[in-house]
Every structure is written in C-alpha cells, then in structure tokens.
Amino acid sequence: TRYFVDYRKVRVVGGHGGGGGHSFYSEPRKIFGGPDGGNGGDGGHVILKADQQMKSLASVLPFYQGFHGERGGNKNCYGANGAYLYVKVPVGTLVKEDGKVVADLTQHGEEYVAAYGGAGGKGNRFFLSNENRAPTTFTPGEPGQERVLHLELKTTAHAGLVGFPNAGKSSLLRAISRARPAVAAYPFTTLNPHVGIVHYQDYEQVAVADIPGLIKGAHQNRGLGMAFLRHIERCCFLLYVVDLSVPQPWIQLEDLKYELEQYQKGLSERPCVVIGNKIDLAQSRINLPLLKEQIADRVIALSALTGDNLEELFFCLRELYDAYVKTEQSHGQNPVKW
C-alpha cells in the first residue's frame, strides 16, 4: 500500500572530515626527507533536492548521515572528499527548523544543503616551518553539521478543487483528467490530495489538485483541518465546487470562503470560478438561477457524473491559466509548468 505523507521530521548529519596524515619521507640516500603527511578529505554534505517525480514524503527516512572524508596519506597525498548525499523530495516541500522556514523548494532541481560536512584535518606537512623542520603535529577531522529539520509538503498545482465532502470533487477530477481518486457515496472518501493533469491541443498542461473535503471550523483544525488547508496555499486559482442539489447552495460557498480567509488572509480573494455540480438532478436545475442571483462570481453548471457542460469548464480553466502565466511573466517570474 502506498501511503501519502506530507510531513516528516528528519535528523541530518554531515559527513565527518578525514584526519590529517602523519608520516616522514624516507628513501635510500635521503634519510631526512621531511614531513609528508597530507590533509584529510572534507566530509560530504547532505542535500535536499526537489524532484518532480516524487509526489509524497513517504520515501524520506527519519535520519541521514553524510559520507565521511578519507584520512590523509603519506607522500603528501590528500584524502578524498566524502561524496554528497542527495535526498529527493517532492516539488513544493517546505523546510523548517525551530519553527522558522529555512528553504522553500518550489522548482524542479532546486537544492538546499541540509547539513554541511566537516572540514578535513591538517597533516604534519602543513605545520612545516623554518622553526620546526620535523613537525609531529597533525589534526583530526571536524564533525559534520547536525540539524533536526521538519519537512512539510504543500501541493503545487495551478488550480485547487475546494468544497465540502461529497460535493463531487473527486468525480470531477476523474472526468477532466486521468487521475483516479476514490469515489464513494460517503463523506471523506478522499483523505489525500490528488493531482490531475488537463491536456490541451497546444501541449499546455494545467494541474488540478483535489483537496480533501473541508468542514466548518477547518481553520481550527476540525475534521482534516490544517493538514490539508496548507495544500490550497500553493494553488494559483481556485475552483469552488458546490452541490446544487442541497437547499441554499450559496451558503456552502460563503462557508468555504470564510474558512479559507480565517486560515490565511487574502486566500479567498484569489481568482476563482464556482462550479455547480450535479446539474443532472431536478432540484439542481431549480437552485441554479437562485445561486447566480446570490453570488457575483462566475458560475459553471455541470455534471461530473454524466459529463454535461464540461467543455465550458475546460475553456474557463484555460482562461484562468493564461491569466496566471501572463501575470507571472509581467512580474519577471517563471510560471509553474507541468
């Protein structure tokens, strides 16, 4: 079974530096050749590297030790440096130490040195001077840096499907992409975020994240709470999914925006569109005009089950994506690409 993990506590220790060498050069007819102990090699770093192929922190271990440097040899031979230890993490990983953010890996291939390796020791050749022609002093290698880091995964997607349990978010993601989140007739079917890719004819790809259902009081850590509210932070625009078959569906939208705003100020003001799901039901057709009267946002009525009016959602999704790309480029930043 593959488990989705979005939090890890990791202890990282850099490699130990190699000790300095202690030797004197000697050969026939050259007895007093002098000191020739080389310096030790530096310890290897532990480096976190964002990889687009990684989708969870499940493969990240709780402890990593860097490779040690080798000891210095005779004939002024330096010890080899310890190799770097790379730890692959998903794109969107937040690195914290003592509650403070020290790194935010949002681009594929981005790296962060989690722990530096220790410096290698000095061989006795290093201490040669006019005052001391035969030094016996040499130093050991330094220990590597040791840190305790907290890794948090925030799903990086263009659009986020936000809604209450059983609003039809997972069914909608299955209808517009190849993602296959679980679908059932009970609430909280989705316990982990799923990301689906919507393909267009010009080879552009829009990533849509299915965020697990929120409930009232989610910003106070009720239900799935804060564990999945943070996944919405990285979404560039939001798709509010409401169930048109329930009485007063606009109340759902008000509650969703309230929870987002309480969690992070300004989160509910991002570009959005309201998706009225389950239009294939008779009660939904009655509630649709009432919903449009109550809210000012654009409303797209569709059915994830039957596929009615999905084309309008594709067009709207592309408009939001193009606006996002244009805004990022105008600010001199690179938009997130899949």
DSSP string, 103-161: EEE-STT-EEEEEPPPPPPPPGGGG--SS-SS-----PPPPPPEEEEEEEE----SEEE
pLDDT-derived band at 191, boundaries 50, 70, 90? low
pLDDT above 50 (res 140): yes
Q: Which element (helix H / strand E) includes 323?
A: helix 310-330
* Cβ neighbours of residue 253 closer than 8 Å, sequence gap 6 or more: 240, 242, 274, 295, 297
Between the two ends of the chain, the Cα-to-Cα distance in Å is 26
Confidence bin at 153 (pLDDT 50/70/90): confident
- 274 vs 161: CA distance, rounded Å: 10
Q: Which pLDDT band holds residue 215 (cuts at 50, 70, 90)?
A: low
Question: Average per-residue pLDDT in the chain?
Answer: 84
pLDDT at position 224 over 70: no
Give ranges for CATH 3.40.50.300 in the chain. Answer: 159-331
Pairing of strands 194-199, 111-115: unpaired
Report the alpha-carbon angle 121-123-128, nearest 5.
Answer: 130
Name the band, by pLDDT with cuts 50, 70 and 90, for residue 198. Answer: confident
Which has the higher per-residue pLDDT, 159 or 156? 159
Q: Say which CATH topology domain 1-154 has.
A: Spo0b-associated Gtp-binding Protein; Chain: A, (2.70.210)
Least confident window among 80-89, 128-137, 214-223: 214-223
| Angle between the N-to-C axes of helices 250-263 and 282-294, in degrees from 0 to 180, rounded to the nearest 10 | 50
Q: How is domain 159-331 classified at the architecture level of CATH?
A: 3-Layer(aba) Sandwich (3.40)
pLDDT reported for residue 73? 87
Per residue in 236-248, pLDDT (tens digit) is 889 998 888 888 8
Is residue 13 pLDDT above 90, yes or no? yes
What pTM did the predictor assign? Answer: 0.70
Give the three-class secondary structure for 22: coil
Q: Residue 325: pLDDT above 80?
A: yes
Which residues of the chain form CATH 2.70.210.12? 1-154
